[in-house]
Structure 1
Amino acid sequence: MPHVRFLLFDGFSNMVLSCLLEPLRAVRDQGNDALSWEIATPHGQPAKSSSGLSIAPDADAGTGRFDLLVVISGYSYREHSKPENLALVSRLARQSDLVIGADTASWILASADLLDDEVGTIHWAVIADFTEEFPQVNVSYDRFVRSGKFWTCGGASTALEMMLAYIAETFGPASAFLASTMFLHDAERQQMAGRGPNRLQGRGSSRLRQVMNLMVETIETPLKLEDIADRAGLTVRTLNRMFQSELSLSPGQYYQMVRLSHARELASNSEYDLREIALRCGYADASALSKAFRKAFGHPVRKSHGNRPTSRQTH
């Protein structure tokens, strides 16, 4: 199970940190208790964000080995690119299987010669200077980029997209879906309030969102894909192609994830028994729901909201 180290430089964005850390927290709360992370700073002192909030480190920046290193920098990226910091980042990169550079951290990675001949990107506000400063980097204007062991992105929204891609690759599309729903809706309460899933906005074309909303609205009485396609004015073939090209999931997989996500919310935030939850999510009985949930996530429905760590992992 991955162990992640976040390296925060002064001036980092709280939003970028949240968009990278909170999806991991959601994955851990799905039952992946061994997933862990720690916070480090280059100077061993609390790092101050761009809004003035301070986060204290809980690890020595220069020790240990980990699966993923996440470097986050905001303002003062040129000042952070001093020899002692570059030596530290180079050493940490060698100790990590994968490295993420978020916001302006690509500047630090490039200054440490880690992105030579790699494809990389950076926050849009400095991408022109970045291109001029580091001709050895193949600069991309994509929202996020993976090149070798390095993943790079710009601001908060791209950081979220990148982390969800990492989660999908590491834990599977089901885990990525549930992590993403944390940012889109709180299924039971917002549906009752006429918000959230009934007004789903986000990734995808307007036609895709129309279909996604229809799926959410019919959780208790799931429709056949033929009926969904017909209501959206599509053929089943076009519906399949649209989901695969925009979400890398079949419409059937996505529909099931909507229902299982709702089941997880009800298991976590209601007193319903599994039979009632199953009926509210379009399953014939508790056994059918349990089988589908375990097949998708590898653990029972109720484990999704088990005892949550309160130690350093709650940063």
Structure 2
Amino acid sequence: MSETDTRQRLVVCHAYERVMSLDVVGPLQVFGSANDELVRTGRSASYAVQVAADQPGPVRTSCGVQLYADCAWRTLDLTQVDTLFVPGGDGVARFFKDQEFLDWLRHAEQTIPRLGSVCSGALILAEAGVLDGRMATTHWSRCDQMMRDYPSIHMMGDRLHSYDPTGLDGDPHVFTSAGVTAGIDLALAIVEADHGRSLALSVARRLVMFLKRPGGQAQFSAYLTPEGGVTTRLAGLLEWLPANLAADLSLEVLADRAGMTPRTFSRVFSRDLGMSPARYVERIRVEAARALLQDETISISRVADLCGFRHPETLRRAFQRHLSVSPQEYAERFARKSAVAAV
């Protein structure tokens, strides 16, 4: 869609008792911030946002905060709606047997241009049957349930969202997203489709977000050291590792630092952390590389060296294994061209 397109689009998010508050306000804030950016640059606001529930008025979310619904979903004129979001939360199960609401969703799918879900809201779309035969994702903790209960859906559990305006790597009409922040990525993708990459990046900067993660990117977050079940000797080693990523972190070196034989160390490490020492080291090196690639003054070659990968190709392969993107692609999402300097 052209950046000069000035059509007003109504974006509606459904709400219900014990909905995840961020599943509602996160995506809607993206569209509100898009309006702010449009007005700031002399253009007209493009989006109107509403919350729809069983009836107008307060809706208590899963964290206890109340949202205010503008209208009842039954009274919505779907011919005026551009995009409808179905969010997730503890209350999703109540809709599995709500035939009135499921029928309404089926009607909405046939009427509105875009129908999407956030987090476990995908289960409601699945129960309505509108995901049958389509690619879909949801929060990682619900993927097995989706695959078991809805075998006709093409589950892509390691994606952020399944929206693609071109229809080449997702669906422009009915789509889903993973956990809470992935709903924001989904909304940014819609803003980009409507108004171009420049506006989407401006909104992401305003929200201090990772800039426009694509739907096909893996559901990853910062790698956290497990707090429970780690032996004292391993705890000290795990605290030491992040500051020494460029050092020799071979099995023998790590075992010696932990005061164990390599065989014992490997067994204890795998038992306590659920993965081999080599895989753990690679994961924290990738996390460190992700942070460094946000610096516009550093080359990928230098990042590879600082994080212990030694060579950009080794870094590239690790990124593909863990994140399903290349270092170059990751850096470009921050629109910092010097971050992808010649290697």
What TM-score does the superposition give when structure 2 sets the normalisation length?
A: 0.57
What is the alpha-carbon distance in structure 2 between the residues aligned to residue 254 and residue 173 of structure 1? 19
Matched position secondary structure for 1:145: coil
Which amino acid letter does the alignment assign opposite residue 114 of structure 1?
V
In 2 relative to 1, CA 49–208 (structure 1 residues): closer, same or farther, beyond 3 Å? closer
Letter in 1 for 2:90: Y
Aligned to 2:202: 178
Instruction: Tell me whether 142-151 or 107-116 shows the greater mean CA deviation.
Output: 142-151
Cα–Cα, structure 1 residues 47 and 250, in superposed 2: closer, same or farther, change >3 Å?
closer
How far residue 93 of structure 1 moved from its aligned partner, in angstroms, is 2.5
2:133 is paired with a residue whose SS is coil
* Residue 71 of structure 2 corresponds to residue 59 of structure 1: yes
Partner of 1:10: 17
1:192-231 alignment, distance < 5 Å = 206-207=288-289, 209-210=291-292, 212-214=294-296, 229=299
Taking a change above 3 Å as real, the CA distance of residues 4 and 120 of structure 1, as seen in their structure-2 partners, is same
Pair 247,47 (structure 1): closer, same or farther in 2 beyond 3 Å: farther
TM-aligned CA deviation for residue 55 of structure 1? 1.8
Q: How many residues align?
A: 222
Q: Can you list the C-alpha shifts for 1:33-89, whole angstroms capped at 9, x where unaligned?
A: 232111111344532210122222213423222111111131132212210110122
Distance 1:139 1:43, change over 3 A: farther
Matched with 2:106 is 90
Matched, 1:144 2:144: no
Separation of aligned partners in 1, 2:202 and 2:180: 19
Residue type of the alignment partner of 1:56:
Y
Q: Shift of residue 156 of structure 1? A: 1.1
Secondary structure at the residue paired with 2:295? helix
Paired residues of 2:294 and 2:331 also in contact (CA < 8 A) = no
Alignment RMSD (CA, Å)? 3.1
Matches within 5 A, 1:160-309: 160-184=184-208, 206-207=288-289, 209-210=291-292, 212-214=294-296, 229=299, 232=302, 242-244=327-329, 247=332, 251-252=336-337
Task: Kindly indicate whether the alpha-carbon contact (under 8 Å) linking 1:145 and 1:152 is maintained by their aligned counterparts in 2.
Answer: yes
Contact 2:292–2:303 (8 Å) recurs in 1: no
1:15, 1:156 within 8 Å by CA — same for their partners in 2? yes
- Note closer, same or farther for the CA distance 1:208–1:42 as it changes in structure 2 (3 Å cut): same
State the structure with more CA Rg: 2
Secondary structure of 1:51's partner? Answer: coil
Structure 2 unpaired stretches of 5+: 1-6, 164-169, 210-285, 305-312, 314-325
Q: What's the % identity of the aligned pairs?
A: 14
CA contact (8 A) 1:244 1:250 kept: no
**CA gap 1:37/1:126 in 2 versus in 1, 3 angstroms:** same
Assess, with a 3 A threshold, how the Cα gap between structure 1 residues 42 and 248 changes in structure 2: closer, same or farther. Answer: same
Indicate the residue corresponding to 1:79 in structure 2: 94
> Is the CA contact 1:44–1:60 (under 8 Å) kept in the aligned structure 2?
yes
Do the aligned partners of 1:71 and 1:100 also contact (CA within 8 Å) in 2?
A: yes
Question: For 1:125, what is the secondary structure of its paired residue?
Answer: helix
Q: CA deviation at 1:158?
A: 1.5
Unaligned runs of 5+ in 1: 186-203, 216-227, 256-315
